[in-house]
């Protein structure tokens, strides 16, 4: 039986809870001695005796022994039921890693994409007010992916010295999209700098290349670069052909600043995904707004 069952921590907790509740019921509770006749030594023996009797078939009443066997059977049934039924409650559709496509819960735009607007308490950096909220659009088949706690900034915000990942989405047919932030303090001493104060198109991509590809990039890897101005904020947008990058053979990036953070949207794909979805992905990266 043990070779066929897979117990998880929540299942064992539920089984233990059921056992404790049942053991506390009147049908199992043993009668206590009157207070005047109890002593510390007999009290310990009385509390231990039922356990020995149940295990060795001593002189405990038959009804109690039968009841305890029933309790153990019930606890086993509960744990088995939980193991095969899966999670008891489904998580909301907007939580990371729940497997829901964004088309099922995000509002649709006029051109058939789905707009994601981050909530102000969604990530450690936003809760710490280290940056402003952001938004972008996605194709309908993308799903939100979990972000590992170690790279989420949960341990260091609002004073992280290294890049952290805000949110991440993915599609088997189109690649991955993620928002990455990095402190501007390593690039300038200015407080709340604009992207122009960090550098020009060429200078910024040389500084942030490892955040995009996982490795340094060569100038010839940049196939295009341009600026987008919207609502008083400037964005540098890049297209990279990176055959040896850790993230993918094709990468798109849009970068701007917010408070004392560089904020990047990074889109990473392989050759097959790029050939199929490049037009959609360019639309995604151009939609990024802080």
Reduced 3-state DSSP string for the chain: CCCCCCCCHHHHHHHHHHHHHHHCCCCCCCCCCCHHHCCHHHHHHHHHHHHHHHHHCCCCCHHHHHHHHHHHHHHHHHHHHHHHHCCCCCCCCCCCCCCCEHHHCCCECCCCCEEEECCCCCCHHHHCCCCCCCEEEECCCCEEECCCHHHCCCCCCCCCCCCEEEEEEEECCCEEEEEEEEEHHHCCCCCCCCHHHHCCHHHHHHHHHHHHHCCCCCHHHEEEEEEEEECCEEEEEEEEECCCCCCCCEEEEEEEEECCEEEEEEEEECHHHHHHHHHHHHHHHHCCEC
Q: Find the farthest-apart pair of alpha carbons in the chain and give their distance in angstroms, rounded.
A: 92
Residues 57-67: tens digit of each pLDDT: 444 445 444 45
pLDDT of residue 215: 82
pLDDT, average across residues 199-227: 91
Residues 131-170: tens digit of each pLDDT: 999 999 999 999 999 999 999 999 999 889 999 999 999 9
pLDDT of residue 83: 40
Q: What percent of the chain has pLDDT over 70?
A: 66
Q: List Cβ neighbours of 254 (8 Å cut-off, separation of 6 or more).
A: 228, 235, 236, 237, 238, 264, 265, 285, 286, 288
Q: What is the distance, to the nearest Å, from the Cα of residue 268 to the centroid of all Cα atoms in its chain?
A: 19
pLDDT of residue 64: 42
Q: What Å distances lie between residue 72 and 33, 48, 61, 77, CA to CA?
A: 26, 18, 17, 9
pLDDT, average across residues 179-194: 94
Higher pLDDT, 140 or 47: 140
pLDDT, average across residues 111-117: 97
Q: Dihedral, CA atoms, 81, 83, 84, 85, nearest 10 degrees?
A: 70
pLDDT, average across residues 19-36: 45
Q: List Cβ neighbours of 180 (8 Å cut-off, separation of 6 or more).
A: 163, 164, 165, 166, 211, 263, 264, 266
pLDDT, average across residues 204-214: 90
* Lowest-confidence segment of 59-68, 75-84, 105-114, 170-179 by average pLDDT: 75-84
Residue 286 reports pLDDT greater than 60: yes
Residue 100 reports pLDDT greater than 60: yes
pLDDT band of residue 205 (cuts 50, 70, 90) is very high
Rank 10-19, 38-47, 100-109 by mean pLDDT and report only the highest: 100-109
pLDDT band of residue 98 (cuts 50, 70, 90) is low
pLDDT of residue 244: 85
β-bridge partners, 251:
240, 268
**pTM higher than 0.75, yes or no?**
no
pLDDT band of residue 70 (cuts 50, 70, 90) is low
């Amino acid at each position: 039986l043990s070779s066929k069952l897979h117990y998880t921590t929540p299942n064992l907790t539920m089984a233990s809870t059921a056992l404790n509740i049942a053991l506390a019921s009147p049908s199992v509770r043993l009668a206590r001695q009157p207070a005047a006749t109890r002593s510390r030594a007999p009290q310990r023996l009385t509390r231990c005796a039922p356990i020995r009797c149940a295990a060795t078939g001593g002189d405990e009443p038959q009804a109690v022994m039968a009841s305890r066997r029933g309790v153990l059977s019930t606890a086993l049934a509960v744990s088995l039921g939980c193991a095969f039924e899966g999670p008891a409650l489904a998580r909301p559709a907007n939580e990371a890693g729940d497997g829901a496509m964004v088309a099922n819960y995000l509002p649709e735009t006029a051109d058939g994409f789905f707009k994601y607007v981050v909530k102000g308490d969604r990530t450690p950096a936003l809760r710490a007010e280290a940056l402003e909220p952001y938004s972008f659009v996605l194709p309908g088949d993308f799903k939100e992916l979990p972000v590992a706690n170690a790279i989420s900034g949960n341990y260091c915000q609002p004073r992280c010295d290294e890049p952290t990942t805000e949110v991440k989405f993915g599609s088997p047919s189109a690649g991955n999209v993620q928002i990455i932030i990095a402190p501007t303090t390593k690039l300038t001493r200015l407080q709340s700098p604009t992207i122009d104060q960090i550098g020009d198109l060429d200078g910024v991509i040389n500084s942030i290349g490892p955040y995009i590809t996982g490795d340094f990039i060569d100038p010839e890897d940049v196939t295009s670069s341009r600026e987008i101005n919207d609502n008083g904020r400037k964005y540098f947008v890049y297209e990279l052909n990176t055959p040896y990058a850790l993230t993918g053979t094709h990468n798109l990036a849009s970068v701007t600043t917010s408070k004392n953070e560089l904020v990047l949207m990074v889109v990473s794909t392989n050759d097959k995904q790029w050939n199929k979805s490049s037009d959609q992905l360019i639309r995604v990266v151009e939609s990024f707004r802080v």
